[in-house]
């Protein structure tokens, strides 16, 4: 369905339940609705909806429950809602939401749990990620770019795994990136982390970690994970010491200023009267972040290596 200039509604397709390839809906400027696809359940390939400037929502695709490859909703200047995609729980490929200036909410994708490729949310009108609470996993890049109204990443709280990189850039109003603390400090991001050119509070990874991640135990009143790092700055080694008794069966992760994991150590116990030594001879000069976590939660601190 490409360049159908007189098409207003996709009528006459109500009996279509399965598409064995891709569904392209592109450059149909008068298209206002997708009600003709009311019986469509499966697209084995990709769903592509692009440059349909009269389309306001995805209503009509309410029966669609499986898309085998990508979902690309791009450059639809009047699109205000993703309602109609409520039955999508996963995408076999990537999801691209780009150049949608009037899209103020991700409602419609509230049952999405898994993105099998990239998840790119660029140049939309959203202010938060409300509606994304069920999302658990993105297999490749998560890209959040140039969303001028975006204030917070709240809604992404339950994402537990990023199989690729994280890119949060050029969101001029974005002040709250605290939901990234757990992903960063617990090593849930496998690729590089780029946090750049957002508002104060989320302008770089150092700011996020120092402002938002240092009190991050599951119970804020539980002090059992408190620890000291010394000396700081350090040249050749640092020592860890528990502030409140022994720390049994902890894991230690050290990351550089870009958020990349430098070392991960499984420590059976850190005693309150014995310092745990970490060798820094192979470390370059700079700022590093150290996280200790166990069943109680996680605590993070920074230290500086000088050479």
Q: How many domains does the chain have?
A: 1
182 in a structural domain: no
Phi/psi-derived region of residue 34, left when phi > 0, alpha when psi is between -120 and 50, beta in every other case:
alpha
Q: CATH code at 301?
A: 2.60.40.1930
The whole-model pTM stands at 0.78
Lowest mean pLDDT across 29-38, 122-131, 291-300? 291-300
In terms of DSSP bridges, do strands 23-26 and 227-230 run parallel, antiparallel, or are they unpaired? unpaired
If you average pLDDT over residues 122-143, what whole number do you get? 96
User: How does pLDDT run across 245-273, given as a tens digit for each residue?
Assistant: 676 677 888 888 777 788 888 775 676 66
Q: What is the pLDDT of residue 62?
A: 94
185 in a structural domain: no
Question: What percent of the chain shows pLDDT beyond 70?
Answer: 86
291 in a structural domain: yes
If you average pLDDT over residues 227-254, what whole number do you get? 84
**Residue 188 banded pLDDT, cuts 50, 70, 90:** confident
92 in a structural domain: no
Nearest in space to 21 (alpha carbons), one of 48, 42, 43: 43
**Which two tokens mark 50?**
């692009």
Contacts with 281 (C-beta within 8 Å, 6 or more apart), sequence order: 236, 237
Q: What is the pLDDT of residue 217?
A: 41
Lowest mean pLDDT across 75-79, 180-184, 205-209? 205-209
In angstroms, the CA 76 to CA 270 distance is: 56
Q: What is the pLDDT of residue 271?
A: 67
235 in a structural domain: yes
191 in a structural domain: no
Q: What is the pLDDT of residue 247?
A: 67
250 in a structural domain: yes
If you average pLDDT over residues 281-300, what whole number do you get? 82
Boundaries of domain holding 278: 216-305
Residue 137 predicted with pLDDT over 70: yes
Q: Greater confidence, 8 or 144?
A: 144
If you average pLDDT over residues 153-179, what whole number do you get? 94
15 in a structural domain: no
Phi and psi dihedrals of 37, rounded to 5? -100, 25
């Amino acid at each position: 369905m490409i360049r159908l200039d007189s098409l207003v509604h996709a009528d006459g397709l109500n009996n279509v339940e399965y598409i064995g390839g891709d569904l392209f809906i592109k450059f149909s400027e008068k298209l206002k609705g997708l009600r003709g696809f009311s019986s469509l359940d499966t697209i084995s390939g990709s769903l592509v909806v692009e440059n349909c400037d009269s389309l306001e929502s995805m209503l009509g695709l309410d029966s669609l429950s499986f898309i085998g490859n990508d979902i690309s909703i791009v450059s639809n200047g009047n699109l205000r809602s993703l309602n109609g995609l409520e039955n999508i729980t996963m995408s076999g490929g990537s999801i691209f939401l780009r150049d949608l200036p009037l899209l103020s909410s991700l409602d419609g994708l509230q049952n999405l749990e898994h993105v099998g490729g990239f998840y790119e949310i660029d140049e939309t009108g959203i202010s938060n990620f409300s509606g994304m609470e069920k999302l658990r996993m993105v297999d490749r890049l998560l890209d959040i770019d140039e969303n001028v109204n975006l204030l917070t990443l709240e809604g992404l709280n339950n994402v537990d795994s990023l199989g690729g990189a994280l890119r949060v850039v050029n969101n001029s109003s974005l002040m709250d990136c605290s939901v990234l603390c757990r992903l960063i400090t617990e090593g849930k991001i496998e690729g590089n982390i780029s946090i750049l050119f957002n508002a104060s509070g989320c302008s770089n990874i150092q700011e996020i970690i120092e402002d938002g991640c240092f009190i991050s135990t599951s119970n804020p009143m539980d002090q059992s994970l408190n620890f000291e790092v010394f000396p700081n700055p350090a040249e050749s080694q640092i020592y860890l010491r528990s502030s409140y008794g022994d720390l049994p069966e902890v894991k230690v992760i050290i990351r550089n200023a870009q958020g990349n994991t430098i070392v991960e150590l499984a420590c059976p116990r850190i005693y309150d009267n014995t310092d745990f030594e970490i060798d820094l001879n192979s470390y370059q000069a700079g700022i590093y972040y150290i996280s200790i976590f166990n069943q109680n939660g996680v605590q993070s601190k920074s230290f500086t290596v000088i050479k």
